[in-house]
């Protein structure tokens, strides 16, 4: 990650700042807490000599009494939970007598299982020397760790072993387990080993050592909250470190997640990720970081990372990507804010840079007020593919977006982007680009779009471009379709172009009457939240009420539905001028009589007119709409109204009708997309009562019954609203089931004339139906 010179300096610094785990010089006596194991005899003694090469006073092992075994001199317990790479150093000299024996230094966390740091099979004298050896972190990582000097063999074979200046230390910090809320000062690099997980809890501050790195070889879970962030920084504004380094992490490791962290003051990228899967950075602030190279805040190569909801500001680099540089990846990069970053070397590009990436999941980012040394681009896309969608690129010092795409099969789709008030041209391209549903406006160059390649490599449709086709260099009229050149009418944009204006605090939403509303490409099946054609630009408006249900009212006698809708986005507080009106699309069944009141604007229907019981019609888009009712806008989550239908669904058809809701205030009115619905009479009529047969002539009978005027549901009666039809059935079997085979006739009257059945005996059934 660092250059060679920096590595050498780092090692030198760490050597000066190592942490001693064990330190003993045996100057005047055996240190307190050390114990002998392996014999009841005293072989380990203090010696007032300096045979090992240190100062006077050292540890000695003597042969007497002669015995065979393993004899340890064991340190007190010490804590190695923060020790990554342990270094052993001691001085020794050996006075051999006969045969061979083994000397060693061992480490244990339980006094039972011992790991050997250093050992020697001795067959001759050894003059004074210094021994150095390394112990891996997993031989420790315990709050109770022990160091032992060990003689193995027959003590008769040695005269003396002299030991002095014992040191066990570490220069890098082990990252494993859980770090709870506190402030930590890691020694050297903080290293999370392969197969291990370091979990950092909310409220932790980690003050990294100068020039150190946080190396993740396993899994890091830094899980802060919005109110208790995790700070990874240094002790002061003038002290720097070298960032989080995640390289070649094995896929078997768990995910690395940085959530609600503040990462700052790195001079070698805030986070660098190379060939590592399962990395997520969310809700983080990465600021005041730099790099001699690419990616001041984040650099990722061959890593399909996710970065979301992050605030990336005031970072710098000498090459592409003063804030972020991602290469050869398919990132999920969304809802981030990238501002005030600086590219310090000329002819480099991108506060946000993607090279050879799939951009389908790069959406909803804000890239504003970034600076460049000369002509650079706020966003640089090199040989990328996919759809680059929903971004704000505003008030950067030079080019808004530069697309350099030489692959003819990789058309770069740019969709729903605001490229506004940048210090040079809005879109510079040398490749294959389809730009649609975007606003390119107010950039300092007279050319809002500059195509440096053949004209057939640029397609612009459903966009708002200042000066229209005249604002584009290298444009072919065949590929400039359905665009507008009217002022997009932002709510509160910056006053002019360049970094001298605060684009982040500006309001780039569209005004109520912006020409960009509903002017986007609706031919692809894309709709805004209010089901209308898409708006041009990043920020869509939800000005139309949205009907989400036109359902039959159940149970009832028909001729009405329950209409429900979501509000217009302006319905946020009490406004006496704001109402919802409900209409039904009318058809040939509507005849505008002399008493009809016709309006050309729904705002003409005042509360008094609505209460007059007049028949009110609205002529809109060459269609007659029948006024059905109104609801006061009262900042509710949803609204509903029971509205009448003309005809119920029946065997003759569904008889669907289309309903429209309008919202209006003093500014304007907005009508919803129509939704169809139908009503059903789902309460059956009562059974005909008191049926009677009477002869009226030698050949005819009259069948009479009581007229049915009500229906029943769960023991309650309801007046019938639909016409009643009576179906007459006859059979010579009193238990017959009515069906087509025994159907006689139907009538709307409670009486029919029947021919005499002659000598045959007939039984009759009457069924009342209110189905149309």
| 590: confidence class by pLDDT, cuts 50, 70, 90 | low
Query: What's the token pair of residue 183?
Result: 């402030």
Q: Does residue 437 register a pLDDT over 50?
A: yes
Question: Does pLDDT of 293 surpass 90?
Answer: yes
pLDDT of residue 591: 66
CA distance 47 to 539: 82
For the entire predicted model, the pTM comes to: 0.84
**Rounded to whole angstroms, how far apart are CA atoms 404 and 383?**
6
* Residues ≥6 apart with Cβ < 8 Å to 20: 167, 168, 169
Q: Is the pLDDT of residue 6 over 50?
A: no
Instruction: Return the higher-pLDDT residue of 496 and 525.
Output: 496
Distance CA(580)–CA(661), nearest Å, equals 6
β strands within 136-236, DSSP E: 146-154, 158-170, 173-174, 177-179, 183-184, 190-192, 197-200, 205-207, 214-216, 219-223, 230-233
Instruction: Render pLDDT for 48-83 as a digit per residue (tens, 0 to 9).
Output: 999 999 999 999 999 999 999 999 999 999 999 999
Give residue 347's pLDDT. 82
Residue 625's pLDDT band, with cuts at 50, 70 and 90, is very high
- Extended beta strands in 710-757, E state: 710-713, 716-719, 725-731, 743-747, 751-755
CA 583 – CA 605 distance, rounded (Å): 12
User: Is the distance from CB of 216 to CB of 204 less than 8 angstroms?
Assistant: no
Q: What is the CA radius of gyration of the chain?
A: 43
Task: Give the length of the chain.
Answer: 772
CB 52 within 8 A of CB 160: no
- Residue 23, CA distances (Å) to 88, 169, 455, 470 in order: 10, 8, 76, 79
- For the chain, domain boundaries: 19-170, 289-510, 546-677, 692-769
State how far the Cα of 296 lies from the Cα of 727, in Å rounded to an integer.
Answer: 84
Cβ atoms < 10 Å from Cβ of 205:
17
- How far is the C-alpha of 291 from the C-alpha of 396, rounded, in Å? 21
CB within 8 Å of 69: residues ≥ 6 apart: 38, 39, 152
pLDDT of residue 197: 97
Q: Do domains 546-677 and 692-769 have the same CATH topology?
A: yes
Q: What is the pLDDT of residues 361-406, one digit of tens each?
A: 999 999 999 999 988 999 999 999 999 999 999 999 999 999 998 7
Q: How far apart are CA 401 and CA 449, in angstroms?
A: 10
Q: Which residue has the higher pLDDT, 300 or 527?
A: 300
The DSSP bridge pattern shows strands 439-441 and 412-420 to be parallel
- Which pLDDT score, from 0 to 100, does residue 17 have? 54
Fold held by 692-769: Immunoglobulin-like (2.60.40)
pLDDT > 70 in the chain, percent: 97
Judge contact between 764 and 692, C-beta under 8 A: no
> In this structure, are strands 256-259 and 371-372 parallel, antiparallel, or unpaired?
unpaired
Could you tell me if residue 537 is left (phi over 0), alpha (psi between -120 and 50 degrees) or otherwise beta?
left
pLDDT, mean of residues 733-761: 88
pLDDT in tens, 692-730: 988 888 888 899 999 999 888 777 888 888 888 999 999
Assign 759 a pLDDT band (cuts: 50, 70, 90).
low
How far is 163 from 154, CA to CA, in rounded Å? Answer: 19
C-alpha 213/C-alpha 191 separation (Å) is: 8
- Output DSSP code: residue 546: E
pLDDT at 683: 85
Q: Give the per-residue SS3 of 113-149.
A: CCEEEEEEEECCCEEEEEEEEEECHHHCCCCCEEEEE
Torsion of CA 408, 409, 410, 415, to 10 degrees: 90
**pLDDT value of residue 613:** 81
pLDDT in tens, 639-656: 999 999 988 888 788 889
Helices (H), 604-718: 607-610
Q: How confident is the model at residue 587 (pLDDT cuts 50, 70, 90)?
A: low
- Look at residue 315 in the predicted model and tell me its pLDDT: 97
Do 674 and 613 form a contact (C-beta atoms < 8 A)?
no
Residue 1, pLDDT score: 38
First to last CA, the chain: 80
Average pLDDT, the chain: 93
The topology (CATH level 3) of 19-170 is Jelly Rolls (2.60.120)
The label of the residue with tokens 């962030």 reads 229
pLDDT at 137 over 50: yes
Please state, in angstroms and rounded to a whole number, the distance separating the CA atoms of residues 612 and 630.
13
Nearest alpha-carbon partner for 260 in 225, 295, 231, 287: 225
Which pair of structure tokens corresponds to residue 625? Answer: 């709409």
Residue 116: other Cβ atoms inside 10 A = 15
Contact criterion met (CB below 8 Å) for 545 and 566: yes
Digit-coded pLDDT (tens) for 295-313 = 999 999 999 999 999 999 9
Percent of the chain past pLDDT 90, that is, above it, reads 80
Q: Which CATH number fits the domain 546-677, given the four candidates 3.40.50.720, 2.60.40.10, 1.20.1250.20, 2.40.50.840?
A: 2.60.40.10
Phi first, then psi, for residue 590 (nearest 5°) are -95, 125
Tokens 């002022």: give the residue.
487
- Tell me how far apart the alpha carbons of residues 437 and 516 are, in angstroms, rounded to a whole number: 9
Cα 732 from chain centre: 74
3-state DSSP percent of the chain in helix, strand and coil, to 5: 5, 45, 50
């Amino acid at each position: 990650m660092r250059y060679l010179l920096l590595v050498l300096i780092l090692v030198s610094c760490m050597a000066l700042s190592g942490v001693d785990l064990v330190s003993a010089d045996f100057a005047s006596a055996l240190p307190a807490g050390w114990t002998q194991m392996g014999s009841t005899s005293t072989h380990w003694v203090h010696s007032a000599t300096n045979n090992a090469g240190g100062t006077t006073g050292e540890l000695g092992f003597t042969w007497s009494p002669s015995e065979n075994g393993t004899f340890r001199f064991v340190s007190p317990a010490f804590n190695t939970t923060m020790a990554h790479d342990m270094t052993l150093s001691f001085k020794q000299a050996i006075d051999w007598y006969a045969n061979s024996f083994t000397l060693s230094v061992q480490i244990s966390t339980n006094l039972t299982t011992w790991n050997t740091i250093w050992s020697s099979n001795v067959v001759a004298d050894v003059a004074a020397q210094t021994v150095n050896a390394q112990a891996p972190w997993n031989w420790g990582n315990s709050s109770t760790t022990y160091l032992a000097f060990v003689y193995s063999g027959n003590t008769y074979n040695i005269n003396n072993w002299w030991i002095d200046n014992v040191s066990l230390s570490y220069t890098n910090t082990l990252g494993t387990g859980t770090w709870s809320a506190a402030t930590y000062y890691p020694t050297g690099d903080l290293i999370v080993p392969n197969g291990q997980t370091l979990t950092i809890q909310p409220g932790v501050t980690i003050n990294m050592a100068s020039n150190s790195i946080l190396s993740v070889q396993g899994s890091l879970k830094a899980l802060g909250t919005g109110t208790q962030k995790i700070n990874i920084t240094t002790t002061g504004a003038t002290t720097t470190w070298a960032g989080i380094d995640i390289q070649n992490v094995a896929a078997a490791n768990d995910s690395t997640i940085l959530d609600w962290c503040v990462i700052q003051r790195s001079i070698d990228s805030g986070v660098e990720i190379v060939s590592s899967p399962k990395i997520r950075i969310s809700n983080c602030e990465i600021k005041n970081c730099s790099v001699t190279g690419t990616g001041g805040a984040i650099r990722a190569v061959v890593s399909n990372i996710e970065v979301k909801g992050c605030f990336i500001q005031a970072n710098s680099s000498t090459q592409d990507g003063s804030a972020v540089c991602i290469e050869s990846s398919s990132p999920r990069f969304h809802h981030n804010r990238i501002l005030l970053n600086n590219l310090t070397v000329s002819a480099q590009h991108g506060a946000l840079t993607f090279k050879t990436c799939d951009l389908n999941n790069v959406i909803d980012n804000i890239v504003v007020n970034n600076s460049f040394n000369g002509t650079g681009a706020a966003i640089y896309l090199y040989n990328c593919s996919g759809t680059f969608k929903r971004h704000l690129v505003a008030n950067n010092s030079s080019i808004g977006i530069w697309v350099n795409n030489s692959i003819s099969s990789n058309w770069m789709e740019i969709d729903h982007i605001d490229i506004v008030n940048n210090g040079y041209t809005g879109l510079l391209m040398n490749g294959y680009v389809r730009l649609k549903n975007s606003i390119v406006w107010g950039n300092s160059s007279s050319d809002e779009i500059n195509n440096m390649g053949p004209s057939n490599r640029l397609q612009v449709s459903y966009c708002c471009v200042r000066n229209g086709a005249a604002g584009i260099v290298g444009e072919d009229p065949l590929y400039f379709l359905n665009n507008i050149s009217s002022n997009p009418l932002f709510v509160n944009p910056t006053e002019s172009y360049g970094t001298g204006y605060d684009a982040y605090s500006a309001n780039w939403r569209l005004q109520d009457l912006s020409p960009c509303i509903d002017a986007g490409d609706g031919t692809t099946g894309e709709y805004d939240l209010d089901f209308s054609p898409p708006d041009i630009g990043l920020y869509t408006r939800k000005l139309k009420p949205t009907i989400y249900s036109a359902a039959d009212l159940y149970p009832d006698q028909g001729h009405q539905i329950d209409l429900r809708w979501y509000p217009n986005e302006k319905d946020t507080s009490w406004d006496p001028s704001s109402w919802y009106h409900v209409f039904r699309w009318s058809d040939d069944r509507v005849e505008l009589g002399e008493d009809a009141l016709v309006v050309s604007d729904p705002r003409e229907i005042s509360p008094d007119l609505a209460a007059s019981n007049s028949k009110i019609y609205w002529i809109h888009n060459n269609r007659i709409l029948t006024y059905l009712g109104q609801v006061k806008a009262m900042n509710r989550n949803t609204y509903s109204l029971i509205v009448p239908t003309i005809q119920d669904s029946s065997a003759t058809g569904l008889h669907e009708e289309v309903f429209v809701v309008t919202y209006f205030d003093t500014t304007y009115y907005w009508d919803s997309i129509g939704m169809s619905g139908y009503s059903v009479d789902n309460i059956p009529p009562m059974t005909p009562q008191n049926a009677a047969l009477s002869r009226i002539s030698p050949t005819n009978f009259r069948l009479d019954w009581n007229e049915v005027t009500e229906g029943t549901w769960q023991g309650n009666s309801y007046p019938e609203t639909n016409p009643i039809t009576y179906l007459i059935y006859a059979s010579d079997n009193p238990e017959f089931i009515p069906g087509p085979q025994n159907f006689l006739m139907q009538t709307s009257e409670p009486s029919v004339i029947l021919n005499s059945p002659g000598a045959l005996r007939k039984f009759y059934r009457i069924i009342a139906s209110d189905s149309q």
